[in-house]
């Protein structure tokens, strides 16, 4: 076997090692950025230099991988949404996951809302977050929603959105001094009440349709004069 053949496994090994290192570096940068952006008084108070220092890499590495702080902010949001996995229809698990997420992000989100109009990256982030949350609600509440998109389906997702948005959680926790456990219980009960109301309404409409069909059937079978 030639020396060139001998080098191929080593090259593949080194390439795989570099790829794993690149993934780990990217994750460290995202985690550092997320921690700093959540803790800072405002978006303007976080710099790429701080993110690079916290993640243990050179500033050029951050710039080469993400380009700008605005792009990094968007990447942080996208990676966070990928972590929101829960069994569709499990209301308690959905509320528990949202409680954990809202508890970690509520203060930062409220700060970002204050600069949404003047910072395009923040506006993009929040618009993307709202759209992503809407789609996520459609997925995790699919067992309770109409199978096809319709005015009724949109109305019900809007009700879910109002019950689960982070601003409501912030009000419970910061303005009304409700404990996390109480807030999670309140969210769970609100979601359960919505689903129960929908199911009762759907059952009532189904019963009405069955009675109407039976009435039509009897009328069709009645002898004519």
Domain membership of residue 218 (yes or no) is no
146 and 204 share one domain: yes
CA distance to 114, 134, 190, 211, per residue, from 146 (Å): 36, 15, 19, 22
Ranges 20-24, 70-74, 104-108, 177-181, most confident:
177-181
Instruction: Report whether pLDDT(1) > 80.
Output: no
In a domain, 215, yes or no: no
Q: What is the CATH number of the domain that holds 38?
A: 1.10.10.60
Same domain? For 41 and 151 the reply is no
pLDDT of residue 79: 67
Q: In the structure encoding, which two tokens stand for residue 205, read together?
A: 């409409």
Per-residue pLDDT reduced to its tens digit, 188-219: 999 999 999 999 999 988 877 677 677 666 66
Based on the domain organization, do 20 and 129 belong to the same domain? no
The DSSP letter of residue 172 is I
Sign of dihedral through CA atoms 25, 31, 33, 35?
negative
pLDDT digits (tens, 9 = 90+) for 92-114: 999 999 999 999 889 888 888 98
Tell me: do 63 and 96 sit in the same domain. Answer: no
More confident residue, 79 or 37: 37
How far apart, in whole angstroms, are the C-alpha atoms of residue 61 and residue 172? 41
Mean pLDDT confidence for 118-124: 84
What total of structural domains would you count in the chain? 2
Q: Encode 154-170: b = buried (16+ Cβ within 10 Å), e = exposed.
A: eebbebbeebbebebbb
Q: Mapping DSSP to helix (H, G, I), strand (E, B) and coil, where does residue 85 land? A: coil
Q: The tokens 């001094």 sit on which residue?
A: 177
* Contacts (Cβ under 8 Å, ≥6 apart) of 48: 59, 62, 63, 68, 69, 72
Long-range CB pairs of 73-76 (<8 Å, 24+ gap) are 73/33, 73/37, 73/43, 73/121, 73/122, 73/125, 74/121, 74/124, 74/125, 74/128, 75/30, 75/33, 76/30, 76/33, 76/34, 76/37
State yes or no: pLDDT of 2 exceeds 60: no
Domain assignment present for 1: no
Band of pLDDT at residue 151, cut at 50, 70 and 90: very high
Residue 28 CA to residue 31 CA, distance in Å, equals 5
Residue ranges making up the domain that contains 32: 10-67
Mean pLDDT, all residues of the chain: 84
Asked whether the predicted pLDDT for residue 133 surpasses 80, the reply is yes
Question: Tell me: the pLDDT tens digits for 30-78?
Answer: 888 888 877 777 778 888 999 999 989 999 998 988 888 888 877 877 7
């Amino acid at each position: 076997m030639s020396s060139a053949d001998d080098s191929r496994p080593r090259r593949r090994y080194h390439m795989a090692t570099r790829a794993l290192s690149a993934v780990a570096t990217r994750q460290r940068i995202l985690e550092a950025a997320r921690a700093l952006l959540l803790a800072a008084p405002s978006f303007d108070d976080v710099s790429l230099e701080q993110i690079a220092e916290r993640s243990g890499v050179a500033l050029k590495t951050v710039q080469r991988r993400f380009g700008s702080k605005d792009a990094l902010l968007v990447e942080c949001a996208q990676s966070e949404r990928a972590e929101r996995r829960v069994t569709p229809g499990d209301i308690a698990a959905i509320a528990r996951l949202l409680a954990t997420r809202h508890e970690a992000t509520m203060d930062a989100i409220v700060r970002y809302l204050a600069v949404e109009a003047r910072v395009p990256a923040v506006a993009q982030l929040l618009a993307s977050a709202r759209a992503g949350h809407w789609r996520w609600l459609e997925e995790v509440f699919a067992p309770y929603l109409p199978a096809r998109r319709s005015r009724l389906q949109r109305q019900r997702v809007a009700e879910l959105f109002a019950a689960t948005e982070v601003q409501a959680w912030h009000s419970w926790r910061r303005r009304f001094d409700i404990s996390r456990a109480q807030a999670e219980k309140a969210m769970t009960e609100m979601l359960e009440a919505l689903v129960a109301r929908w199911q009762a309404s759907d059952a009532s409409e189904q019963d009405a349709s069955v009675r109407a069909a039976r009435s039509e059937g009897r009328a069709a079978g009645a002898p004519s004069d």
